[in-house]
């Protein structure tokens, strides 16, 4: 499997990894198949959403913060309980189809690492399965 | 990959695509493997839930609307910010196992396209991977 | 496909299935690939999160209960509407990469069946796809 390393810059941030993942797909030589992405962390996630207007990312972060506030009451005492919950709400993995040696994304779609407890150095593990 | 086209009829609606997806699986000729489904959109999602009582679908839509209201305050100015957020909460893809040339679903499970910004014409992209 | 059976003990509980799933992976003989997990139910889910401090699991259950209370107002009349909604928020399937014949998890990650309407007997269906 291949690994991408990302350095996030804020506590909460959606980091665009579309081009990096597509680079791994191209390098794999797989023409038709499925690209699996996975974060080996428990306080960040992965999601797909709009790649044009950055305010969409801000809205998702803002809604999740309203629903699962950083300063809420939690049993876990490390101060990042909200980040654990948020990561289980977005999920830790993605599957995107591959055709013609490239990720098949919709026109307005980008792939984001969802940082909920940064800034940190994060990894995305990738495997491209051949059909 | 195969494509299913769906025409949704309301702003928010869970549209049952179980039979359509199973048709693609059967056509693929794959006996044992995994069916990957993917929506190339950013304001609709995919989920699995109860196929019997339609009030379950209504409840999921209702809860998501309470948590992420259409008329909430958002930065994105196209009037469908809630739909972007909701799609990242349900997710844009599904993986269901295939055995005997058919989707392996639980007795009460159906596959739904989650429309959050309709009515629109939507696509589901499908690839059936052989074991 | 292989099946794991789990007997949950509470109405809401995150049940650690990491070792059981890894046992299936080892038995499969697949050295490099992807492990697909799937629950054929509509009132439980699957998620990945912290395997060390059990208070993280309690926090996720607690936040979901606050957002989707058991005693909320729902159309579905079987008394488990919250469980249906929660299962679509966590999701019903997982994909984890396999290398060296074992699940590739982060140091702090475990795999959990999310029981939202127990106690019940639940199944996890597993297929290990070879690269």
Count of positions (residues) in chain A = 131
Contacts of C84 in chain B (CB under 8 A): 49-50, 56, 59-60
Residue B54 near chain A (CB below 8 Å): no
Q: How far apart are CA C8 and CA C112, in angstroms?
A: 12
Angle in degrees, CA B39, B10, B8, rounded to 5: 40
Cα angle, residue B5 at apex, residues B3 and B11 outer, rounded to 5°: 140
User: What sign for the dihedral angle of Cα B60, B66, B69, B73?
Assistant: negative
Residues C88-103 have pLDDT tens digits of: 999 999 999 999 999 9
Placement of tokens 């496909």 in the chain = C1
- A59 closest CB neighbour out of B84, B95, B130: B84
pLDDT at B76 over 90: no
According to the model, what pLDDT value does residue C37 have? 98
Average pLDDT over every residue of C79-86: 97
Number of cross-chain residue pairs from B and C with Cβ atoms under 8 Å apart: 86
| Interatomic CA distance for residues A26 and A99, integer angstroms | 11
B78 or A2: whose pLDDT is higher?
A: A2
Neighbouring residues of C105: CB distance < 8 A, sequence distance ≥ 6 = A40, C18, C48, C96, C111
pLDDT-derived band at A8, boundaries 50, 70, 90: very high
Q: Is residue B84 pLDDT above 90, yes or no?
A: yes
Given a cut of 90, whether residue C23 has pLDDT beyond it is yes
C110 φ/ψ angles, rounded to the nearest 5 degrees: -130, 165
- Mutation for B interface: C24, C37, C39, C42, most B CBs within 10 A: C42
Task: Report the pLDDT value the prediction gives residue B77, as an integer from 0 to 100.
Answer: 87
Task: Please give the mean pLDDT across all residues of chain C.
Answer: 97
Which among A42, B56, B72 is positioned nearest to C68, based on CA atoms?
A: B56
* pTM, to two decimals: 0.98
Contact check, Cβ <8 Å, A104/B77: no
Q: Which domains occur in chain B, in start order?
A: 2-130 (2.60.120.460)
pLDDT at C61 over 90: yes
Q: In sequence order, what are the beta bridge partners of B123?
A: B5
Q: Which of C7, B13, C64 minimizes the C-alpha distance to A85? A: C64
- How many Å apart are CA A46 and CA A28, to the nearest integer? 21
Q: Which pLDDT tens digit goes with each residue over A30-83?
A: 999 999 999 999 999 999 999 999 999 999 999 999 999 999 999 988 999 999
Residue C92 with chain B: CB contacts under 8 Å: 48, 109
Q: Are A1 and C104 in contact (CB under 8 A)?
A: yes
Rounded distance between C-alpha atoms, residue C48 and residue C16, angstroms: 10
Report whether pLDDT(C87) > 90.
Answer: yes
Instruction: Compute the 3-state secondary structure of chain C and give helix, strand, coil in percent, each to the nearest 5.
Output: 25, 35, 35
Average pLDDT of the segment spanning B80-103: 98
How far apart CA C33 and CA A128 sit, in angstroms, is 9
Is A48 within 8 Å of chain B by CB?
yes
DSSP string over C88-107: HHH-SEEEEEEETTEE---T
Is residue B25 pLDDT above 90, yes or no? yes
Residue B118 and residue A83 in contact, taking contact as beta carbons nearer than 8 Å: no
Whether pLDDT at C77 is above 90? no
Query: What was the pLDDT predicted at B96?
Result: 98
pLDDT at position B26, please? 98
Chain C residues whose CB is inside 8 A of the B67 CB are 67
State the average pLDDT over residues A11-36.
98
Residues of C in contact with B94 (CB under 8 A): 93
Rounded mean pLDDT, B100-105: 98
- Please indicate if any CB of chain B lies within 8 Å of the CB of A67: yes
Which residue shows structure tokens 């992807």? C34
């Amino acid at each position: 499997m291949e690994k991408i390393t990302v350095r996030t810059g804020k506590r909460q941030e959606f980091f665009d990894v579309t081009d990096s993942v597509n680079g791994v797909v191209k390098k794999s030589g797989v023409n038709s198949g499925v690209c699996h992405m996975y974060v080996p962390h428990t306080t960040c996630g992965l999601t797909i959403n709009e790649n044009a207007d950055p305010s969409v990312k801000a809205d998702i972060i803002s809604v999740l913060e309203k629903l699962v506030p950083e300063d809420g009451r939690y049993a876990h005492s490390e101060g990042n309980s909200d980040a654990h919950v948020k990561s289980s709400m977005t999920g830790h993995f993605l599957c995107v189809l591959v055709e013609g040696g490239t990720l098949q994304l919709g026109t307005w779609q980008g792939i984001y690492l969802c940082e909920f407890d940064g800034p940190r150095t994060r990894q995305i593990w990738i495997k491209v399965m051949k059909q």
